[in-house]
Amino acid sequence: MERTLNFDLVRRFPRGPVVSARGAWPLDGERVTVLFGPSGSGKTTVLRALAGLDRPDEGRIVFEGETWFDAGRGIHVPPQRRHVGLLFQDYALFPHLSVRANVGYGLHSVPKAERDGRIDELAGRFGIADLLGRKPGELSGGQRQRVALARAIAPGPRLLLLDEPLSALDGPTRESLRGELRELLVRTGVPAVVVTHDRLEALALGDRMAVLVGGSIRQVGPVPQVFTNPVDAEVARAVGTENVLPAKVTRSEMGLLVLEAGGAEILAVDPGSAGDEVYACIRAEDVVLESLERHGSSARNRLEGTVVSRQEEGALVRVRVACGPTLVVLVTRESADRMGLAPGLRVVAVVKAPGVRVVAR
């Protein structure tokens, strides 16, 4: 049997956007696929169509050779018969039922003794054995997530669908649960599709990443590869390559391109056949800031400029430097403090040529 998920669907919203997404990937091996995109890009629409909660206007969905949806043939398998485990953004636990009844909800056709055994087994696996008698209202965010996941796993789904699984949690809890969720997902052994707009979530949870921009899937590939090799400028912007600079190729020397962007000269590795008008994509993490005195590294791009703004982001500081183009740079707070980074300070932004991705425009 063909173990793949294959979909090609169109969903039109009245007076709204059109989501037209096509994707296909194997279900063996790398199990967790992240459906990544900015809000409004159609991620949840795709997820709901896969779950059968929403009926696309056109197209088809084939899971393991079984047609779940085919607009042309009028096929729409209802969610009850898709055997999909669904995890909602806010978990959607049944508030009137105990944790035990929530986890056992999908096991209604299983005899009681067997059902209780299965609930206890899952409760042990998900670390919620002590919570079985409680109501969802008495649980913390992290506990709710584990209960919701146990509930989704209980009937033995063939596919897990998770909608922004960490967004309902507060910052610190989210940090600590990212790794835990990945662990739980891998241990279930069920292929999963995780919708998220959070880069860190995508990196932490996914094996494979599908990037949705403007309602269509632009790129599918291993997570790190998509991050470092976005296929086009929109994907680059979506995956958070903060610096997407319009640039002109001035000349090519020894496999390197010399670009002109915002009055500055930038060296980049030639990807081949990019044309003259390009985007130079530089991730904020890949820019190093130096004070004016220091120099003498192997980096080829040294752009002198002035700090325009400084914004704290947890352990990191996001700095904007006007050096011809305005570059967004992420540095640790410690380095920022040591250098005394503040608006008005003259610095040098250093980027290695391989850190500049050239994308045709």
Could you tell me how many residues of this chain bind other proteins (CB under 8 A)?
28
Give yes or no for a contact between 181 and 165, defined as CB atoms under 8 angstroms apart: yes
Q: Which is nearer to other proteins, 8 or 88 (CB)?
A: 88
Q: What is the dihedral of CA 49, 55, 60, 66, to 10 degrees?
A: 70
Per CB under 8 A, the list member of 12, 60, 76, 83 interacting with other proteins is: 83
Interacting residues with other proteins between 127 and 156 (CB under 8 A): 151-152, 155
Listing DSSP states for 188-221 in one string gives H---EEEEES-HHHHHHH-SEEEEEETTEEEEEE
Q: Which is nearer to other proteins, 89 or 291 (CB)?
A: 89
Per CB under 8 A, the list member of 47, 84, 233, 245 interacting with other proteins is: 84
Give yes or no for a contact between 301 and 245, defined as CB atoms under 8 angstroms apart: no
Write down the least CB distance from residue 194 to other proteins, Å: 16
Write down the least CB distance from residue 310 to other proteins, Å: 41
Give yes or no for a contact between 343 and 298, defined as CB atoms under 8 angstroms apart: no
Q: Which is nearer to other proteins, 105 or 198 (CB)?
A: 105
Q: What is the dihedral of CA 10, 37, 88, 204, to 10 degrees?
A: 140
Closest alpha carbon to 351 in 251, 247, 272, 273: 247
Per CB under 8 A, the list member of 78, 179, 224, 271 interacting with other proteins is: 78
Question: How do 32-36 and 159-163 pair as beta strands?
Answer: unpaired
Give yes or no for a contact between 223 and 206, defined as CB atoms under 8 angstroms apart: yes
Neighbours of 3 (CB within 10 A): 12
Write down the least CB distance from residue 80 to other proteins, Å: 5
Per rule CB under 8 A, is residue 53 in the interface with other proteins?
Answer: yes
Alpha-carbon span 40 to 18, nearest angstrom: 10
Write down the least CB distance from residue 145 to other proteins, Å: 14
Write down the least CB distance from residue 93 to other proteins, Å: 8
Write down the least CB distance from residue 154 to other proteins, Å: 8
Interface mask (CB under 8 A) for other proteins, residues 265-304, using x and -?
----------------------------------------
Q: Applying CB under 8 A, which residues contact other proteins?
A: 51-53, 78-86, 88, 90, 92, 94-98, 101, 105-106, 108-109, 151-152, 155
